[in-house]
């Protein structure tokens, strides 16, 4: 299993990032790809036009989001991975820390995926780096 931590800073408040992350329309604006969300613990979500699907396990606005997550490329029988996102005030906006654990071996580089498909589009949407 693969695990890693990735972080970045965006020019937004933790409240704005939290709200965008857990709302389907906001998530789509933030990442540039279709998403839907039932924003409650136990609620389902999908992102990136259905490539990602999961369940919210913690929604502690505006500082922490946790969820179980998988992609359509996951091997049959593989368990969901877990993701924890923490949002902290920063002098340039919001520090976003993503901890992703339990990715099945042999999967693509999801570490780089968080940069390319989340942190970079978020920085563009909100401003920052």
- pLDDT attached to residue 1: 87
Provide the 3-class DSSP secondary structure of residue 89.
strand
Name the average pLDDT for the chain.
Answer: 95
The residues near 65 (Cβ < 8 Å, ≥ 6 apart) are: 18, 21, 22, 56, 58, 59, 84, 85, 87
Distance, CA of 46 to CA of 69 (rounded, Å): 9
- pLDDT attached to residue 49: 93
Write out pLDDT tens, residues 15-35: 999 999 999 999 999 999 999
The residues near 8 (Cβ < 8 Å, ≥ 6 apart) are: 95, 96, 115, 119, 122, 123, 128, 129
Write out pLDDT tens, residues 46-95: 999 999 999 999 999 999 999 999 999 999 999 999 999 999 999 999 99
Per-domain residue ranges of the chain: 2-126
- pLDDT attached to residue 129: 44
The total number of residues shown for the chain amounts to: 129
- Looking at the domain that runs over 2-126, which CATH code has it been given? 3.30.530.20
Confidence category of residue 109, pLDDT binned at 50, 70, 90: confident
- pLDDT attached to residue 29: 95
């Amino acid at each position: 299993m693969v695990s890693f931590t990735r972080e970045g800073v965006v020019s937004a408040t933790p409240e704005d990032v939290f709200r965008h992350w857990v709302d389907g329309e906001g998530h789509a604006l933030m990442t540039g790809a279709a998403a839907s969300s039932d924003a409650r613990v136990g609620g389902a979500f999908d992102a990136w036009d259905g490539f990602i699907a999961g369940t919210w396990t913690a929604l502690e606005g505006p500082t922490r989001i946790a969820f179980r997550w998988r992609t359509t490329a996951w091997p049959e029988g593989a368990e969901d991975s877990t993701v924890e996102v923490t949002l902290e005030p920063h002098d340039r906006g919001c520090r976003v820390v993503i901890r992703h654990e339990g990715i099945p071996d042999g999967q693509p580089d999801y570490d780089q995926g968080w940069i390319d498909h989340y942190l970079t589009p978020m920085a563009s949407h909100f401003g920052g780096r």
